[in-house]
Structure 1
Amino acid sequence: MPSNRYISMKLFLLVLLFLFPSLSWAEDVPWRHGFSLHEDLKYDEDFTHFEYVNPEAPKGGEIRLAGIGTFDSLNPFILRGTAPLGLGMIFETLTVQSQDEPFSEYGLIAESIQIPDDHSWVAFALRPEARFHDGSPITVDDVIFTLQILQTQGHPFYRAYYANVVSAEEVGPGEVRFNFGDSMNRELPLIVGQMPVLSKAYWQDREFDRTTLDIPLGSGPYRIARVDAGRSITYERVEDYWAADLPVNKGRHNFDRYRYEYYRDVNVALEAFKAGQYDFRQENVARLWASGYEGPALRQGRIIMEEIPHELPTGMQGFVFNTRRPAFRDPLVREALTEVFDFEWSNQNLFHGAYTRTRSYFSNSELASKGLPSPEELELLEPHRDRLPERIFTAEFQPPETDGTGNIRPNIRRALALLAEAGWSVSERDRQLRHSTTGELMEFEILLDSPTFERVCLPYVRNLERLGIAARVRTVDATQYQNRMNDFDFDMTVGLFPQSLSPGNEQRDFWTSESAATPGSRNIAGVRDQAVDELVDLIIAAPDRDSLISRTRALDRILLWNHYVVPHWHSRVFRVAYWDKFARPEISPKYGLPVDAWWVK
């Protein structure tokens, strides 16, 4: 029988836990210098710098870059307005991700991190030297305020991203803990670590959800030096930056200044680069990479062109159907319109054979579905079999192919058969595609924000015309485009769904039924599917790498076979062109292009 002393001590401890629930047994959880999704950190506690930087890189000089379009706000955390490029450099985060590991983070504002075995919370011990640019310390109050303001007034993306963070509290001097409730989400500690920390004193008396051109208070390696609204922005390196000598920053942030000049047109921007008006560009247009840089500067070696390999998942780029539009609600219609995009002809005639056709939302990674579903995938898919396309279980997804000559008659025949099955046929009277019951004409607009894609869209439009479809291309300025995308006010557009090696909470913003009804979300296709919702939750809760792979592949199959996009193409290299004034480290990381580790020669 327990002694009275034992019972009294136990009651005392229970009272403590009731009065001070934050005490729990956190002292049994070790503090770490970093953490990863599956406990496989590359760098130990004594590391001095990342492998892909030069810790002796000299500081100084300027790098000039280009933006396309314009900007009208210096608040990047809300739905309204368009923020300029580079603005993230003025804000610091709790942790920083390395670019040579799949998903690992190391302390930045946070000196150390605690995570229990069940991943039900994460705690950060803040560095006492962490400062905002005005010299004020970064405190636990600032961290808690940031979470609350992003969850309540920030861009809808943050509300989805932090949906399972139920509270944040101070648990000791300079220590903050984020509680995750009942969520089984191994990624949440890393997601919280990526959170930028804002100054409560600066923001609490301002309207956070309004656009502004007031220079915000930050804590990062750069501050805003000059702003010419909509035209240019210059950042200058903070000389007394509090984190300059941390291992995660050694060899980084080498330029004294970043200057972004904005151009209305991609072609004008390229000519400005060739004329020496800015220094560095990453090229995404194969035609321009093949021949657009020709000129004296390239021949004389003053402009350098490089292809730097990477191992990043390529994600999915494609023509995105807005399934909120009645004409695109039927998967048969979407599949039919996929048939007449002639990738092989485009690759030969427009891209100089530079691209590979995308066959997965997670291409270039082990997460991509292939072959038939594995037993583990079938276990996930079978409960939804009645609501899923049968081919998910019987065939490997392959996008339509052509012979590259421009002759797509077999594809047109298949497309017309699919459209007929969906209730659409070509009218003998006017040779236009109409619904067999209502007589409605099949017509839609492809919305773009740059003329660059017009040369890809126009051949596709001509093929759609051969089906009797009245399609047209409309290019608008960046601000109008963003506003229309935020409101899902489009029929079809060119969209990109980037992916990482460790998909998680961001999938909610891409695919779930809730995000489909949330203005500003990245679920631009309007996906509303119970099976998708459940798989996204399972991906977030994946307990290990093997289950994450199976769950992601199952999701991939559902998205592919429902034809939400007409798949485009991808490349497995970074194509960069720059003036011969820079040097870069000998080692390139697998999962990024860290230009902040370059320096002026």
Structure 2
Amino acid sequence: MRQTLKRSTAHARVKAARNKHMLWGGLGVLGLLITLAASGMARAADHENIISSHGYSFYGDLTYPADYPHFDYVNPDAPKGGELAIPFVGTLDSMNPYARQGRAHLFSVLMYESLLGEAPGGGAAPADVYSEYYCLLCERLEYPEDKSWVTFYMRPEARFSDGTPVTAHDIAFSHNLLLDQGFKSYADAVRARIPKVEVIDDYTIKFYFTDGISRRSLIEQVGTVPAWSKAWYEETGAKLNESRLDISPGSGAYMVEDVNISRRITLKRNPDYWGNDLPFNVGRNNLDRLRVEMFGDSAAAFEAFKAGEYTFRAEGDSRIWATQYNFPKVQNGAVVQEELRNGAPPAATGIIFNLNSQFLTDRRVREAVALGYNFEWTNESLQYGLFDQRASFSQGTPVMAKGAPEGLELELLQSLGDLVPEEMLTEPARVPHTSNAETLRDRRNLRTAMRLLDEAGWEVGDDGLRRNAEGQVLKLNFLFNSSASPTITGVMENFVSNVSTMGIDITLERVDSSQYTARERDRDYDLLYDQYPAFIGTGTGLSQRFGSEDAAFSLFNPAGLASPLVDKLIDVSLDAETREEEEAAMRALDRALRHEFFMVPLGYVPNHWVAYYDMYEYPDVIPPYNLGYLDFWWVNEEKAEALRASGALR
């Protein structure tokens, strides 16, 4: 059990922190020594405590011991075999998601592993704990108390799918390739924190971290870089920043079998996968094949599911969920429709403002535009009452800001002085406006919006359009992916209709998936339907998503948010050394992001909606952080054969 030294009163703590120009101190030396001795993870070397472990978490508390047989939620006896096929609506033109040009599918990264293992596509593994990482390509890692460096000792048996060994040289090459040819916002952030990588021998690699910075996210950053084959890149001359269909061999359980970018992508389980028997993989990677089928629109995709052309849908369209699952295969039990637990906070989906747009820099204009969205009417009339309204970037978690700040969160905000607006100290956290569910156009909200626009200097002319003092029309471009479902398209059309009644010249511009990706990367829009990831805890990734340093070009920050208050709260959260301190900082960050108001939050579905042909099975308890259908589900071959015999499957 972790032990910490007791602290002084909250008042004295904050006063001392102000004197040091930082909010919180760390664990005392004695407390840390007790912790390490109790866990059995410490050893003395070169006059410093070196922690040697089979996994990593910032606080040193790992749920799974070194001799764990498998993750608790998997079925260790799950059979291997069968296929799972899913749909993709839209256009793809690449198998390289790291290039600035082109659009790639999730299946383009499923074959790659890292030192510290992850679920397919970079999800949580294990999926029943938060912010814990366990060795996959490595056998163990070592790092000192101050986390100024980390050394990974790799598994010599690890192999790429072409049979060549995965070595420390490949890890160093992959790390540097992302810095040299990856996205600029990522590369800049990593270079500032990780100045040096050293290959000690073929299976040992050491990363050094910059002095004087937070130790958050550093070890997991280098530990989760995908391992690419240095030899393949050197032999082919391929670039990470170019759109292409050929891919390097991976070391993971799956390898590419077939790519027809306009029709389907198929992966097959590697029969010679080196890691089959690792505890990390027991009960996982159960399917022989993974397939994605391409469709031009959602209607065609759904009809193909009914016909048995693919076998699994993670449903996202409320209209289809509520009204379309009454076809014969559902009625006779060939297709299962069910809701499954989702323990993770919903992604922060919404209508995002480009804060660099000349028309949206004034908060009053954003407030007015937001009042055009009527969640209550939309939910009842278009979404069958199935959605909950999202308010927070950490919805439903302990770090969701509620009411006015209090306790340690209030002390933190008060310590930041003029950075914090007075209303943030005394008023409840911002929540979405409410609207009349009986009518699309809520007259009260529209009157408020009109007043805000008048105050901002946008007056209505004789032609009904709003102009400023220079005669410029208030004109907004709303970039929208044409492959979106009819339901969400209807939601956005109604929003645009409401905004236009305010005298704003707004256009919903529908473009295909590839154009949408390119335009989004160039930030060529005023409004965008998109999302930010939700958060439960801190990490340096928060700076890429919400920080000022990369706001002008970060692909992860589509609003271009640049706020000194948000920057400071991210820094404070990264310096936190207890969970209590971290949670207080994260609540304050959630409160500040909502106050900055760069997004109109939309609704979310509390559970997973899934529909699948009745041949798939899953563990009794779905872990909170991953539904896992590409990870730990399996096929019941007797059921699959019965479906084929009945003609339910093609």
Q: What TM-score comes out, normalization by structure 1 length?
A: 0.92
Match of 1:487 in 2: 522
1:380 CA drift (Å): 4.1
Letter in 2 for 1:29: I
**Pair 1:133–1:41, CA change in 2 (3 A):** same
- Among 186, 194, 198, the alignment partner of 1:165 is 194
In the TM superposition, residue 416 of structure 1 has moved relative to its aligned partner by 1.8
- Confirm or deny that 1:413 pairs with 2:447: yes
User: What code does the residue aligned with 1:78 have?
Assistant: A
- Residue 131 (structure 2) aligns with: 103
Tell me which residue corresponds to 2:437: 404
Higher mean C-alpha deviation, range 392-401 or range 199-208: 199-208
Q: Quick one: which amino acid aligns to residue 499 of structure 2?
A: L
List runs of 5+ in structure 2 lacking aligned partners: 1-43, 118-124, 637-650
Does 2:499 correspond to 1:469? Answer: no
Amino acid corresponding to residue 75 of structure 2 in structure 1: N
| Preserved contact between residue 91 and residue 198 of structure 1 (Cα < 8 Å) | yes
Q: Which residue of 2 aligns with 1:287?
A: 319
State the partner residue of 1:335: 367
Q: Give the Cα–Cα distance (whole angstroms) in 2 for the partners of residues 242 and 113 of structure 1.
A: 20
User: Which residue does 1:556 correspond to in 2?
Assistant: 590
Deviates more, 1:242-251 or 1:112-121: 112-121
d(CA) in 2 for partners of 1:160, 1:312: 29
Matched with 2:533 is 498
Which residue is 1:459 aligned to? Answer: 494
Map 1:126-525 → 2, pairs under 5 A: 126-156=154-184, 158-159=186-187, 162-163=190-191, 164-171=193-200, 174-182=203-211, 183-204=213-234, 205-382=237-414, 386=418, 389-396=421-428, 397-406=430-439, 408-427=442-461, 429-435=462-468, 437-449=469-481, 450-452=483-485, 453-518=488-553, 521-525=555-559
Matches within 5 A, 1:53-72: 53-72=74-93
Equivalents in 2 of 1:309, 1:152: separation in Å? 41
In the aligned structure 1, how far is the partner of 2:407 from the partner of 2:634?
A: 50
Letter paired with 2:89 = I
Distance 1:458 1:26 in 2: 66
Residues 354, 558 of structure 2: 8 Å contact kept: yes
Distance in 2 between residues matched to 1:292 and 1:476, nearest whole Å:
27
Flag the 1:530–1:263 CA change in 2: closer, same or farther, 3 A: same
- The CA distance in 1 between the partners of 2:49 and 2:413, in whole Å, is 40
Equivalent AA in structure 2 for residue 131 of structure 1: R
Aligned partners of 2:364, 2:274: CA distance in 1, in Å? 57
- The Cα RMSD (Å) is 2.0
SS in 2 for 1:532: helix
Residue type matched to 1:79 in 2? R
Distance 1:526 1:500 in 2: 18
Moved over 6 A (4+): none
Give, in whole Å, the separation in 2 of the partners of 1:55 and 1:208.
Answer: 37
Q: CA deviation at 1:28?
A: 4.4
CA shift, 1:187, in A, is 2.3
2:205 partner SS: strand
The alignment partner of 1:130 has SS state of: coil
| Post-superposition CA distance 1:86-127 (Å, at most 9, x none) | 222211111123100011111100111113222222221100
- Taking the aligned partners of 1:513 and 1:230, their CA distance within structure 2 comes to 39
Alignment-mate amino acid for residue 524 of structure 2: D
Change (3 A) 1:176 1:24: farther
Is the 1:336–1:415 Cα contact (8 Å) retained in structure 2?
yes
CA contact (8 A) 2:537 2:583 kept: no
CA contact (8 A) 2:372 2:446 kept: yes
Residues 579 and 547 from structure 1, CA distance in 2 versus in 1: closer, same or farther, beyond 3 angstroms?
same
Report how many residues are paired: 576
2:564, 2:174 → 1: CA distance? 32
- Give the whole-Å Cα distance in 1 for the aligned partners of 2:249 and 2:139: 22
In the other structure, the counterpart of 1:570 is 604
Q: Compared with structure 1, are the counterparts of its residues 275 and 327 closer, same or farther at alpha carbon in structure 2 (3 Å cutoff)? A: same
- Structure 1 residues 234 and 375 mapped into 2: Cα distance closer, same or farther (>3 Å)? same
Find the aligned partners of 2:585 and 2:96 in 1 and give their Cα distance.
36
Unmatched 5+ residue regions in structure 1? 1-22
| Rounded Cα–Cα distance in structure 2 between residues aligned with 1:68 and 1:521 | 22
> For 1:270-305, what per-residue CA distance to the aligned partner results, in whole angstroms no more than 9, with x for missing partners?
111111110001011211111122211111111101
> Residues of 2 paired with 1:268 and 1:388: CA distance?
51
User: Any conservation in 2 of the 1:310–1:574 contact (CA below 8 Å)?
Assistant: yes
Report how far residue 591 of structure 1 moved. Answer: 1.1
Letter in 1 for 2:297: D
- Residue by residue over 1:314-359, the C-alpha shift from the partner in whole angstroms, topping out at 9 and shown as x without a partner, is 1311110111111100111111212221101111111111111111
Stretch deviating more after TM superposition (482-491 or 145-154): 145-154
Is residue 2:571 matched to residue 1:543?
no
CA-to-aligned-CA distance 1:406-432 (integer Å, 9 cap, x gap): 1511111221222222222222x1222
Aligned residue for 1:17?
none
Moved more, 407-416 or 474-483: 407-416
One-letter identity of the residue aligned with 1:104: E
1:190-246 CA distances to partner (integer Å, 9 max, x unpaired)?
Answer: 222221111111113433321222232111101111111232111111011000110
Kept after mapping to 2: 8 A contact 1:509/1:522: yes
Aligned to 1:88: 109
Q: Which amino acid aligns with 1:416?
A: M
Q: Matched residue of 2:144: which SS?
A: coil
User: By how many angstroms is 1:386 displaced?
Assistant: 4.3
Question: Would you say the 8 A contact 1:156–1:521 is kept in 2?
Answer: no
Greater mean alpha carbon deviation, residues 203-212 or residues 219-228 = 203-212
Give the CA deviation at 1:45.
1.1
Q: Distance in 2 between matches of 1:368 and 1:431?
A: 41
Tell me the equivalent position of 2:122: none
Match of 1:115 in 2: 143
User: Aligned to 1:496, what secondary structure does the other structure show?
Assistant: strand
Answer whether contact 1:113 1:125 (CA < 8 A) is retained.
yes
Q: For 2:156, what is the secondary structure of its paired residue?
A: coil
Distance 1:360 1:299, change over 3 A: same
Write out per-residue CA displacement over residues 352-399 of structure 1, whole angstroms, 9 at most, x where no aligned residue: 111111111111211211111235334444466546554322321121
Letter of the structure 2 residue corresponding to residue 179 of structure 1: Y
Partner residue, 1:41: 62
Select between 136-145 and 197-206 the one with higher mean Cα deviation: 197-206
Q: Is the partner of 2:549 in helix, strand or coil?
A: helix
Matched, 1:581 2:609: no
Cα distance between partner residues in 1 of 2:633 and 2:177: 35
C-alpha separation in 2, matches of 1:535 and 1:28: 31
**Percent identity of paired positions between Structure 1 and Structure 2:** 36
Q: Secondary structure at the match of 1:290?
A: helix
- 3-state SS of the aligned residue for 1:159? helix
